[in-house]
Amino acid sequence: MYDALVLAAVQLFSVQGLSFLTLGVTVGLVIGPIPGLGGVVGMSILLPFVFGMDYVPGLAMLIGMTAVTQTSDTFPAVLLGIPGTSGSQATVMDGYPMARLGRANTALGAAFTASAVGGVIGALVLVLIIPIARPLVLSFGSPELFMLAVFGVSLVGVLSKGSILAGLLSSLVGLLLATVGSAAQSVDYRFTFGTMYLWDGFSLVLVALGLFAIPEIVQLLRDGGSISRSAAPAGSAVMASTDRMSDGPRAAMQHKALILRSSGVGAALGMIPGIGGSVIDWIAYGVAAQTSKNGDQFGKGDIRGVIAPESANNAKEGGALVPTLLFGIPGSGTTAVLLGGLVLLGIQPGPRMATDRLDVLMVILLSLVIANLMGAAACLLAAKWFSKLCLVPAVKLAPFLIVVITTAAFQSRFSNADLLVFVLLGVFSWQMKRQGWPRPPLLVGFVLGVAAERYLWISMSRYGLEWLSRPGVIAIAAITVGAILLSARRSPR
């Protein structure tokens, strides 16, 4: 293993290797903050270039892009309250309130530090676990995946902020929205009203943008002033005097245990194909809120609410590579396209990867580590300038934001119906916001709906009720019940 690591380092630290790694990182950093785009788009842009390329620079470029998309997507999540990709949805919960309190620099600094550490931990987990991952991944059947979906839905209690009933209703609406379109287990088209547009259901990007972007922009415009509304004199906008970029990494380092825990959650869940990368940051956020002291501060601009999802969503990239490399099963959308890239580079994923292609594994490890560090450093440098967006008056920022989010919404199906759904969801979620209804449970329900239905159906069809006695199911059920009880105990009411 040591020889392979040295060989990979020599190859990667060549001019060619580092140049292509930097190119991949640059594309990832540019793609990440643009709402509606994401790792899949970045991968699609780079894929044509890897044909005929040597595997070291090719891998470095693809892995570099994958690693940092989840880092730079924090900018719009923290500064504008709009998730850049599906991986930064939970970051909005505390990142945006921090920006509004004039602590954008601290939030961004902590987020990028947590992202870098999470990404490195994910890479280490990938290399350490791949020799023993086979039985672990194979032990996750449909019943366990269904129980993980149930665990995700159980986070509604945490995400509801005291409005449990409203949170439950929101999550049910999300679950129902997820049933729109073709049913997985039959030839039915559900709730499509005869339109082809709804055959594939609603896209996650569209729902996330409608739920978060429109209400936040309307709120911003209604309140007047700028995003940063720190203790500033009326009519002016300043960053809080204590808001320094260096405070972010310091704050992140004060929560080392949280970073480790969240990275572990991210890497472990990333390894499981089928659970979907979009929900991992929510789970990390929910686990952090449930297990941290003063968990009721989450959602009000708590730095821990930024650190937890950010470390998890970067760590998951390493975890998602485990099934991709070991079985050829992609753990996320991005790794699905990456799989095509690996084949183009002449790399055949499979169980022998851990023994016969250690060189490839080490190139991936080093690329992940270096890309995460490069990405975080670049974002930390750029954050100082980006955070000035918080000082721009909302009425001047709004035209740009509205054009960007509308264009992003259109990328879902490239149909004008996207725009209609976008506005309808926006009006609905604005009503939710002004009535104090929690919106994250709706998104979590929507993300988990398809998986919950599919895996419960398969479990019942294949095992009857016997799946309830599987050890994995019992273990996840116990964790879920424990989490709910812990949440209820910590609940203020």
Q: Which residues bind another protein (CB under 8 A)?
A: 31, 34, 36-37, 41, 44-45, 162, 165-166, 168-169, 172-173, 175-176, 179, 183, 185-188, 190-191, 214, 217-219, 221-222, 393, 395-396, 398-400, 402-404, 406-407, 410-411, 414, 416, 419-420, 422-423, 426-427, 430-432, 434-437, 452-453, 456-457, 493
The β-bridge partners of 182 are 189
Residue 377 or 395 with smaller CB distance to another protein:
395
**Contact in structure between 392 and 239 (CB atoms under 8 Å):** no
Burial of 340 (0-12, 13-18, 19+ CB in 10 A): middle
Residue 147 or 347 with smaller CB distance to another protein:
147
**Contact in structure between 119 and 263 (CB atoms under 8 Å):** no
User: How far apart are the two ends of the chain, measured CA to CA in Å?
Assistant: 54
Give least dist CB 297 to another protein, A. Answer: 17
39-50 vs 15-31: helix crossing angle, rounded to 10: 150
Give least dist CB 5 to another protein, A. Answer: 35
The DSSP call for residue 212 is I
- The structure tokens listed for 290 are 């449930």
Residue 16 or 491 with smaller CB distance to another protein:
491
Residue 23 or 253 with smaller CB distance to another protein:
23
Give least dist CB 160 to another protein, A. Answer: 13
Question: Helices (DSSP H) in 328-357: which residue ranges?
Answer: 333-344, 353-356
Residue 468 or 478 with smaller CB distance to another protein:
468
Residue 407 or 469 with smaller CB distance to another protein:
407
Give least dist CB 239 to another protein, A. Answer: 22
Give least dist CB 291 to another protein, A. Answer: 25
SS3 298: coil
Pairing outcome for strands 181-182 and 189-190: antiparallel
Give least dist CB 50 to another protein, A. Answer: 16
Quote the CA–CA distance of 176 and 191 in Å, as a whole number: 10
Spatial neighbors of 293 by CB under 8 A, at least 6 apart, are none
Quote the CA–CA distance of 372 and 367 in Å, as a whole number: 8
Residue 43 or 358 with smaller CB distance to another protein:
43
Residue 88: phi, psi to the nearest 5? -115, 20
Residue 36 or 295 with smaller CB distance to another protein:
36
Quote the CA–CA distance of 68 and 203 in Å, as a whole number: 23
The DSSP call for residue 192 is -
Output b/e per residue, 407-444; b: 16+ Cβ within 10 A: ebbbbbbeeebbeebbeebbebbbebbeeebbbbbbbb
Give least dist CB 307 to another protein, A. Answer: 29
Give least dist CB 171 to another protein, A. Answer: 9
Residue 162 or 350 with smaller CB distance to another protein:
162
Residue 359 or 428 with smaller CB distance to another protein:
428
Q: Give long-range contacts, CB 8 A cutoff, 24+ apart: 228-233.
A: 228/99, 228/100, 228/101, 228/102, 228/104, 228/390, 228/391, 229/100, 229/101, 229/102, 230/101, 230/102, 230/103, 231/102, 232/102
Give least dist CB 162 to another protein, A. Answer: 7
Quote the CA–CA distance of 437 and 169 in Å, as a whole number: 9
Residue 2 or 193 with smaller CB distance to another protein:
193
Give least dist CB 210 to another protein, A. Answer: 11
- The structure tokens listed for 109 are 């600094």
Give least dist CB 214 to another protein, A. Answer: 6
Residue 464 or 471 with smaller CB distance to another protein:
464
Give least dist CB 269 to another protein, A. Answer: 23
- Count of C-beta atoms within a 10 Å radius of residue 336: 17
Output b/e per residue, 172-210; b: 16+ Cβ within 10 A: bbbbebbebbeeeeeeebeebeeeebbeebbbbbbbbbb
